[in-house]
Amino acid sequence: MKTINLVLGIHNHQPIGNFDHVLEDAYQKSYKPFLDILKRYPKIKVSQHYTGFLFEWLRKNHPEIFTELRAFVKSGQVHLMTGGFYEPILAIIPNKDKLGQIRKLNDYIKKNFNFKPTGMWLAERVWEQHIVKPIAEAGVHSVVIDDTHFKYVGLKDEDLLGYYVTEEQGKTVNIFPISKMLRYTIPFQPVEKTIEYLRSISSEDGSRIAVYADDGEKFGVWPNTYKHVYLDGWLEKFFAALEENSDWIRIVHFSEVMEKVKPIGRVYLQNASYAEMLHWALPPELFLKYEEFEHKLKGARLFDHYEEFVRGGYWRNFLAKYPESNNIHKKMIRLSERAHALEHKGIKVDRVLDRVWASQCNDPYWHGIFGGLYLPNLRYPVYKSLIHAEVELDKLERKPKLVVTHEDFDRDGSEEVLVESNILDAYFRPEEGAALFELDYKPIPFNLLDILSRRPEGYHNKLKHPVTAESNGDGIQSIHDLVVSKESGLEKLLNYDWYRRGSFIDHFIGATTLEEFAAAKYPELGDFVKQPYTRKISQKKDKANVQFSRDGLVKVNGNVHMRVTKTFEFAASSGTIRCKYNIENLSSQPVEADFGIEFNFGLMAGDAHDRYYKINGSKPADSRLRSAGSTDEVRTVSLTDEWQGLLVKVEVDKPLTLWRFPIETVSLSEAGFERVYQSSVVFLHSIVKIDKEYVLKFRLTVGKSK
């Protein structure tokens, strides 16, 4: 009789900081019902992976699942898989952190379930060959990766019915190809299609292996799957079919199959992830060209034949595509290096490292249907962990209360100016208008500039030119095929920023309206917003001055030469930044121009009742942070976040006109297209006549609201 070895793997993950109601929904719709049905089919063996944060949430909110899992593990029906505790993209974190994160999850599983995991789930299946060495050093014997990775190096479908050995600097790990066919039939197609496929690849000698390993959230959380998988009985039918065919479908764990079947051979894989991820990593223009190319190949029925040559981008380019992602990554790397330097000196840094590891949770580092970069609630806990770690490192290092440095923070070849005190971090980018791009308030802790600028995404084309997706055969639609919007009219919000949003951004604007300025569709008359400024830094004890200056042009009555100099004053143990603007007219004629300063503050929720504006000390009629409006004769603007107990106030020495409006992005998630509040813009400006010089003084204060 022809037989097949079938390995089933389920990966359950939730990012740190996800809403409790989201996790509870996933528990009720996926994690719990899956185990409830598995319990009725003791012959079905499953390798399960839970990320560390999810384990901790389950233990706190549903400890009964730990009791159930212990019973499953003890009986041998479930083997638990390891990985990075906080589900990092292993390739982009330091090797010491790779080892630390895997060992932390290993220890957690051993302590709570008396099981030593030897198989590993690789976050987002992002593979780079160098990760083999630390994975092997952490005691991992096997890793599951998409079969696409293997095809990219020339292997064919018939070569992937087994597993391979790969090696880095003499360290080896077994790697199992995940069947794309099974990923697309389970649970979306009728059970019979999976059984038919397994029969087609079974063999007389019984040495072939088929691997299914994918997200547990497919079983209940993805759109329409709860009804399909549980209410309509798909999972029960699937398990029943496997048991009925157990005479030729041998369900085994990864460790068991490695004991019985030898590896096919040795292989080295290219840098890759799953196909959709590589598509999402492309710039918008190439995103659409790739989509068009793929459709043409499929239309000509050539895709399957040339699939191994069709691939998108490279995961790391998310760090180039989104400077906001790179910002998180480089801050994380900086703090990891500081922590390990102290560790090398024999100083205990376990708590600091755990905060750094938490910040490595992969979701806010990238964007696709699942990546959470666009979501403030997922970026927030990452920055919170980073700032907590920084505060603790400052104490351990006995760092001075105020330090000003200039270094290439974001690793792009240009230096940034970093002002760090025991109250604030203020990071400036001289090469781009000397704008403030990070503002951390350490006592809370919170980054007020943790915001995402509006930029084109390839999938925006689906909003502009909607096409109804059709179901695949007689199954249900995959999440990748659905085109759903959470609200109508989102295409009207597709405005794109031509510069990165931040604070202390210097504008000379032409005749325009608030609405045009908010949509970034206005005439910018000066060349100061994205252009380089010179810098001058002076520091004396607990005070520091940072001065930025640029000689530029303003298009008023021709090109007028103007100099903008902004001088920032910082004091240790103060949450106030003082800034003096000197606008010098370098021409011989008076100049009349509309000059203003843009501030952005991202307080996470635009409609919450406990987050609001005050203008000149009073709430406007609509005080929501998502509100828009124009107010004359403004001297103070404040934004309050009662949820965090945070207050940010901008004061100016002259009455100016205030334009306020929200920055809202349109992004795609598993639930469809959605509007996301990123920040509130405070733009203070006035038409001024400058004979020789115009002086403006600001005071930006961040503190506690209570």
DSSP code, position 223 = T
Which one of 87, 97, 124, 128 is the catalytic residue?
124
Residue 471 has pLDDT above 50, yes or no: no
Residue 541 banded pLDDT, cuts 50, 70, 90: confident
Which one of 25, 157, 167, 215 is the catalytic residue?
215
**77 contact partners, CB below 8 Å, separation of at least 6:** 38, 42, 44, 45, 46
Whether the bond between 445 and the residue before it is cis, its omega within 30 degrees of 0, is yes
Q: Which of 20-24, 236-240, 333-337, 478-482 has the lowest mean pLDDT?
A: 478-482
pLDDT attached to residue 469: 46
Residue in 162, 59, 154 with CA at minimum distance from that of residue 113:
59
Measure the N-to-C terminal CA separation of the chain; round to a whole number of Å.
75
Residue 653 annotated in active site:
no
Q: What is the DSSP string of 153-186?
A: TT--GGG-SS-EEEEETTEEEEEEEEPHHHHHHT
pLDDT attached to residue 480: 46
| Per-residue pLDDT tens digits for 26-67 | 999 999 999 999 999 999 999 999 999 999 999 999 999 999
| Per-residue pLDDT tens digits for 121-179 | 999 999 999 999 999 999 999 999 999 999 999 999 999 999 999 999 999 999 999 99
Residue 124 annotated in active site:
yes
Enumerate domains of the chain plus CATH numbers. 4-271 (3.20.110.20), 490-704 (2.70.98.10)
pLDDT attached to residue 55: 98
| Per-residue pLDDT tens digits for 600-643 | 999 999 999 999 999 999 999 999 999 999 999 999 999 999 99
Residue 472 has pLDDT above 50, yes or no: no
Residue 227 has pLDDT above 90, yes or no: yes
Residue 369 banded pLDDT, cuts 50, 70, 90: confident
Residue 106 banded pLDDT, cuts 50, 70, 90: very high
The distance from CA 15 to its chain's CA centroid, rounded to whole angstroms, is 10
- Structure-token pair, residue 627: 């509100």
Question: What number of other Cβ atoms are within 10 A of residue 694's Cβ?
Answer: 20
Mean pLDDT of the chain: 95
Give the Cα-Cα-Cα angle 94, 352, 366 (nearest 5 degrees).
Answer: 50
For the segment 400-409, the average pLDDT, to the nearest whole number, is 96
Residue in 387, 392, 290, 375 with CA at minimum distance from that of residue 325:
375
pTM to 2 decimal places:
0.94
For the segment 172-197, the average pLDDT, to the nearest whole number, is 96
Percent of the chain with pLDDT over 70: 97
CA distance 362 to 382: 10
State which amino acid sits at residue 432: E
